[in-house]
Structure 1
């Protein structure tokens, strides 16, 4: 049963299960007449071959209030792009498929690169960045939502609850973040949030003292959720990372630009499952190993911009505090899971903690050695200042791709 607890930092909008999806969608349809809604779907081509995305598309076909759907397609050749156009053609909403590996989008990327404005690395962050640029160029939405394409438990209600807080004109929010329990196949999931982010924030608080930014991140029930919605007007002035720190990076930008009263989190699902990343202890550039390092760097970097000084001694203390706190949480999560008829593998949980502790140190050392290194992509306002025609060029490139290959 949902509670109605508020943390006092960001508003938490619960699902008290007293309202039908039909009533919520009816209101959203009314709101969307003056606040058109666009949905961004960053996707790998491989996700078109999985059941999860097929269900997502089937669900979206029944959504009455979405005006536009923008699909950012990565890792696709020409034949696969043609297939993607056919795959998404069943959507009744106006939609566009950005072929990020196509010659036209590559030409745009090269032009940006010559001006030192292009994202450095491929990945979800870069995909989202180009989709944001396309949305800004289309100039036809007031609200933008984003979620992944590998959600196994997807339903229309997730999207409705995600966009409602920023679409209702009576609400003050410009950003909403989804949250949910990560439960699947009788297990408690969400290892990076449970075993890295939560104990990291607690250990930083013990080590460096009270910091409003730490309070802010701690307020989010699932800070790594990939589902969020925002008012379109804020898109041009946020910098997002191209690495695995995307979700933390977006929250940090909202912290920098807006009052907490404009930010909320919303309960969008009773259970959530998606494609699981491997722990990848043998390769620090893959899986949860890479993710944990990038997240730690993102947190250290943001705290430094708020005036926190880090040293090797500080990092050693943070690691020690983290390790003890994380092991305590392993026990707590085990008890929580068992009481609810779920399971956790203590051995694997502690292996994850050991890996995350090592990566915390590596991330801290990397930050100290190269403090000016940043994975943040340029704000679109900056890009437009240097290249006023780039959004129109992108609109033309996508339209030409869809006309030629569709």
Structure 2
């Protein structure tokens, strides 16, 4: 039973029929194409979680396209990543976000007074990938490449609220337990984000709507 909802609606994963979820999302995706974006460093490819994600993504036949937003130091690392993801039968694109082709495009934008080259890191890579995915997709899921508990239903649970016709969501954020080896993970949220929000509320002397929204995550 869901006995409490905060500002942001929470859809709990309680005895969800994953097979039914998969059937329905596959049906909906015929009219509403779906993409998954996976931002990653080349070093992520060496993690055990990367093999698992590649294997499980191959079962996600409801996905129309997978876009890997890659940061690699050289062409050798890029080629290795392409080979690793060649095991996936679903249409996919390895986007070398700091490679020469993308850099040329960004230089053209800079010449037109839109300087994106000054930004670095995963955030920029995600926006580059989103620029491609939004052309071809109705809904887009985004997740990291280091989820050790990853399964083929994770993208479905991210995408389902966005394409189920009777629901009216345009944004969905997943969450999962960050516990392992007697360690509680999720340190950024616990030790930085929540204390920062509390400090801002205390400084202002009242809780503005946006801070209340952020705290609900």
**What TM-score results when the alignment is normalised by the length of structure 2?**
0.93
**C-alpha displacement at 1:143, in angstroms?**
0.6
Q: Take 1:101 and 1:204, find their aligned partners in 2: how far apart are those partners?
A: 36
Which residue is equivalent to 1:20?
17
Report which structure shows greater RCO (CA 8 Å, sep ≥6).
2
Q: Take 2:12 and 2:126, find their aligned partners in 1: how far apart are those partners?
A: 27
2:79 to 69, 79, 82: 82
Which residue is equivalent to 1:126?
124
Q: Is 2:21 the counterpart of 1:59? A: no
Structure 1 unmatched ranges of 5 or more: 221-406
1:69–1:95 contact (8 Å) kept in structure 2: yes
Which residue is equivalent to 1:194?
190
1:38 to 35, 39, 42: 35
Q: Deviations over 1:121-141 (max 9, x none)?
A: 2200111111011223xx321
Runs of 4+ more than 4 Å apart = none
Larger radius of gyration: 1
**C-alpha displacement at 1:156, in angstroms?**
1.8
Which residue is equivalent to 1:172?
168
Q: Take 2:80 and 2:72, find their aligned partners in 1: how far apart are those partners?
A: 13
Residues 1:203 and 1:100: Cα distance change in structure 2 (over 3 Å)? closer
Q: Take 1:70 and 1:29, find their aligned partners in 2: how far apart are those partners?
A: 19
Q: What are the within-5 Å matches in structure 2 for residues 6-405 of structure 1? A: 6-7=5-6, 9-17=7-15, 19-119=16-116, 120-136=118-134, 139-208=135-204, 209-220=206-217
**C-alpha displacement at 1:90, in angstroms?**
1.4
**C-alpha displacement at 1:118, in angstroms?**
3.0
Q: Take 1:47 and 1:183, find their aligned partners in 2: how far apart are those partners?
A: 20
Q: Take 2:98 and 2:198, find their aligned partners in 1: how far apart are those partners?
A: 41
| Local SS of the residue matching 2:69 | strand
| Local SS of the residue matching 2:24 | helix
Structure 2 unmatched ranges of 5 or more: none
Q: Take 1:126 and 1:12, find their aligned partners in 2: how far apart are those partners?
A: 28
Query: What is the count of residue pairs matched by the alignment?
Result: 215
Taking only aligned residues, the RMSD between alpha carbons, in angstroms, comes to 1.5
1:71–1:98 contact (8 Å) kept in structure 2: yes
Looking at secondary structure, tell me which structure has more helix per residue: 1
Q: Take 1:177 and 1:26, find their aligned partners in 2: how far apart are those partners?
A: 22
Which residue is equivalent to 1:340?
none
